[in-house]
Structure 1
Amino acid sequence: MVKRRNNRQDAIRDIVRGKSIRTQRALVDELQAIGFNCTQATVSRDIADMGLRKLSEGIYVLAEDLHLQRMVSEFVMSVDRADNLVVIKSQPGTAPGVAAAVDAASLPEVKGSVAGNDTVLVVSGSDEAATDLVNLVNKLRDAKK
């Protein structure tokens, strides 16, 4: 049971980071689509256990991503990728803080980051991981608090 719960919570982490999930029902549907047989009550317990929060737009976000969301929504101007590299452009003087927030979020797709004054270079493990990171940053950037 613990293994299934951990696997399900890992799947929830991936879903919440990858999609804009607004309801527990939507999360149950996403989990069922990838093979997890669970109920809304189970997902509700997982949400509490994992400390998921809802942004003012009604989108679930992981607790560890809240600082990243604040930094991204306030300071990031654009995000782009070239193969497995992600370039995040931010307001002047804010790149070190944005890079620190990316690093602190412990995103599995991030291998490391380097910050200048207004640019963060993030190295991902693969092209697909870089695309996932771009999608996450854009999702968080669009979610103003």
Structure 2
Amino acid sequence: MAKKRSNRQEAIREIVRNKDVRTQRMLVDELKAYGFDCTQATISRDIADMGLRKLPEGVYVLAEDLHLQRMVSELVVEVVRTGNQVLVKAQPGTASGIAAAIDAAELPAVLGSLAGNDTILVITRTEEDGERFESLMSKLCGSRR
């Protein structure tokens, strides 16, 4: 049972990071596509266990991404991607803090980051991972962009 739950929660992590999930029902439907047949009550328990939170925009975010979300929403100016390299432009003097938050989030697709004064270069495993990371950063920037 614990293995099934951990597999399901890993799928939830991936779904929440890659899609704008606004409701538990939407999460149940997304999990079905991953081969998990579960009830909304089960998902509700998983959300509590994992510490998922909703952003002001109404989108679920992982607890471990909250610090990153706060930094990105306040300090990131622009996100640009080419292939598996993502350039994150930030307020002057804040790049190293943002890079540390990216590293602390332990995103599976991110190989590492390099920070200057106002720029972070993030290298991902594949071009597809680069797209996902760019999408996550844009999501975390919220509606101000």
TM-score, normalised relative to structure 2: 0.95
Deviation at 1:143, TM superposition (A): 5.1
* Greater displacement, 76-85 / 37-46: 76-85
1:29 counterpart = 2:29: yes
The residue that corresponds to 1:53 in the other structure is 53
Contact 2:57 2:142 in 1 (8 A): no
The residue that corresponds to 1:108 in the other structure is 108
Deviation at 1:57, TM superposition (A): 1.9
The residue that corresponds to 1:68 in the other structure is 68
Cα offsets for 1:86-116 (capped at 9, x unmatched): 1101111111111011011110011111100
* Moved beyond 3 Å, runs of 4+: none
Cα offsets for 1:53-93 (capped at 9, x unmatched): 11122211100000000011001111111211111011111
Letter in 2 for 1:69: Q
Number of residue pairs matched?
144
Alignment RMSD (CA, Å): 1.1
Paired-residue identity, %: 65
Aligned partner of residue 107 in structure 2, secondary structure:
coil
Question: What is the rounded CA distance, in whole Å, between the counterparts of 2:141 and 2:80 in structure 1?
Answer: 13
Contact 1:84 1:126 in 2 (8 A): yes
TM-score, normalised relative to structure 1: 0.95
Question: What is the rounded CA distance, in whole Å, between the counterparts of 2:73 and 2:143 in structure 1?
Answer: 7
* Greater displacement, 38-47 / 1-10: 1-10
Q: Which runs of 5+ in 1 are unaligned?
A: none
Aligned partner of residue 36 in structure 1, secondary structure:
coil
Letter in 2 for 1:120: I
The residue that corresponds to 1:14 in the other structure is 14
